[in-house]
Structure 1
Amino acid sequence: MVFGLLKRREAWCLTWRGRLVAVMAALITLMTAVRGCAPFLSADQPVEARVLIVEGWLRDYALKDASEEFVRGKYRYIITAGGPLLEGYYFSTRKTTAEMAAATLVELGIASNSVVAVSSPPVARARTLVEAQSVKKWIQEKDPDLRSVNLYSLGVHSRRSWVAFKRALGDRVKVGVIADADRSYEMDRWWTSSEGFQSVTSEALAYVLMRLRG
């Protein structure tokens, strides 16, 4: 002790073996998180429902799968949800992804009177939530007794869409989700392709931001 200002203390520190174990534990944790990220975001928890909501931006193969789910699940009708087209808007007779998806489903064999296109307005952010709110408004006006729906989405986007629709529809309507497989990359090795890396990381960030905003 020097003039009562300094005092000697002993401190524990990791040996090289301890540091090696710590690094290995960190790597194992990171690998587990990486491998589990895509499956977590690809939520797939359907409920008993007679109405199927299909996101309008889905690729054609996913819309085909959705049409098969409609028949297999014996749903009463399909709601397609989506905003303005980002490409082809000026020459297309259908101006929203909801309208485009509805037309595709009819071409795939679904009766036109079993498909309802619910279009949403153009927005710069929170598009999925706005689409869900548009669907909520339609349900309140056209089918107020509806109590459960299944949302048909694609890959890692499904969990965020699920959260958005649950928030919009509230406690009165139980919302399940069905995640079609994204065929543009391998789900269990998403980090090995640019498409997979971009999709998973962007959706993970968007999901975290959605949760933080409440």
Structure 2
Amino acid sequence: MPAKLKLVKKSECYRLTWIGRVLVLLFFTAFLFFLALFIPKFLSQSNPVNGQILVLDGLMPDYAIKAAIDLYESGNYEQVVVTGEILSVGYAIADIKTMAGLSYATFIELGFEADNITSLPTGNVVRNRTFTSALKLNSWIKDNKLNITKIDVLAVGCHAARSKYLFDRALDEHIAVGVVAVEDMGYNGKRWWQTSRGLRTVLSEGLGYLYVRFFFFPRKH
């Protein structure tokens, strides 16, 4: 007679003892604590290359623009370039329509010389905004036949790592890209998980960085 069809079978398994459970719990607790300290530090590292151009992309807080002015005055930058898409708030009533224009106007209001700053608005960008800004900068450099071999991107907090990577991908290979990270004043970086803004910022920037490193395959043209 044919063997009976069996749907289940007896098997032996191992389970953690109480000591094993405690050790696993301690391991994961230490791992999470390490991530909590490491992730924001990694994402907000400064690594400038003493570039010829200092670039600010997107909607920048005033304290970041003040920091950019201090950097320009104490360094060897030849030009500041501000980029950014159309403003999503106040567009209908404001005279300034883009993030680049708002940054430009803030620089001028703070006493910065207009000859030392260039505004490169990117228009209405739905996705890949930082990469689009970097492409705009690359086109501007080539169109004006500028001899630029290195730039620094100024970014706020955890956006620094992603900004550097995307500008590095978008610019021509002979242009070295550095980054200057300005501390994000919107939350306590050492206790970022204690506020909703800190939690949203670190987690979203962390996921965003992983996305552009492993799942973003853009075309430059």
TM-score normalised according to structure 2 size: 0.88
Contact 1:56-1:100 at 8 Å conserved across structures: no
In the TM superposition, what is the alpha-carbon distance from 1:110 to its structure 2 partner?
1.6
**Partner of residue 198, structure 2:** 196
Structure 1 segment 139-154 matched on structure 2, within 5 A: 139-154=141-156
**Partner of residue 132, structure 2:** 130
**Partner of residue 59, structure 2:** 57
In the TM superposition, what is the alpha-carbon distance from 1:76 to its structure 2 partner?
0.9
TM-score normalised according to structure 1 size: 0.91
Q: 1:74 to 1:16 in 2, by over 3 A?
A: same
Letter in 1 for 2:197: E
In 2, Cα distance between the equivalents of 1:170 and 1:64? 29
Letter in 2 for 1:45: N
Letter in 2 for 1:179: A
**Partner of residue 105, structure 1:** 107
In the TM superposition, what is the alpha-carbon distance from 1:81 to its structure 2 partner?
0.8
Q: Which runs of 5+ in 2 are unaligned?
A: 217-221
> Alignment partner of 1:79: what SS?
strand
**Partner of residue 18, structure 2:** 16
In 2, Cα distance between the equivalents of 1:71 and 1:143? 25
In the TM superposition, what is the alpha-carbon distance from 1:143 to its structure 2 partner?
4.3
In 1, Cα distance between the equivalents of 2:202 and 2:210? 12
In the TM superposition, what is the alpha-carbon distance from 1:170 to its structure 2 partner?
3.4
In 2, Cα distance between the equivalents of 1:74 and 1:107? 22
In 2, Cα distance between the equivalents of 1:9 and 1:183? 57
**Partner of residue 88, structure 2:** 86
In 2, Cα distance between the equivalents of 1:109 and 1:76? 17
**Partner of residue 77, structure 1:** 79
> Alignment partner of 1:86: what SS?
coil
In the TM superposition, what is the alpha-carbon distance from 1:62 to its structure 2 partner?
1.0
Q: Deviations over 1:171-191 (max 9, x none)?
A: 211000001001111111100
Contact 1:153-1:179 at 8 Å conserved across structures: yes
Contact 1:80-1:118 at 8 Å conserved across structures: yes
In 1, Cα distance between the equivalents of 2:57 and 2:205? 16
Q: Which runs of 5+ in 1 are unaligned?
A: none
Structure 1 segment 175-186 matched on structure 2, within 5 A: 175-186=177-188
Q: Which residue among 104, 110, 114 is the counterpart of 2:116? A: 114
Letter in 2 for 1:38: P
In 2, Cα distance between the equivalents of 1:15 and 1:167? 50
In 2, Cα distance between the equivalents of 1:137 and 1:126? 16
In 1, Cα distance between the equivalents of 2:154 and 2:190? 21
In 2, Cα distance between the equivalents of 1:134 and 1:207? 21
In the TM superposition, what is the alpha-carbon distance from 1:74 to its structure 2 partner?
2.8
> Alignment partner of 1:120: what SS?
strand
Letter in 2 for 1:195: R
In the TM superposition, what is the alpha-carbon distance from 1:201 to its structure 2 partner?
1.1
Q: Which residue among 166, 169, 173 is the counterpart of 2:168? A: 166
Letter in 2 for 1:148: K
> Alignment partner of 2:81: what SS?
strand
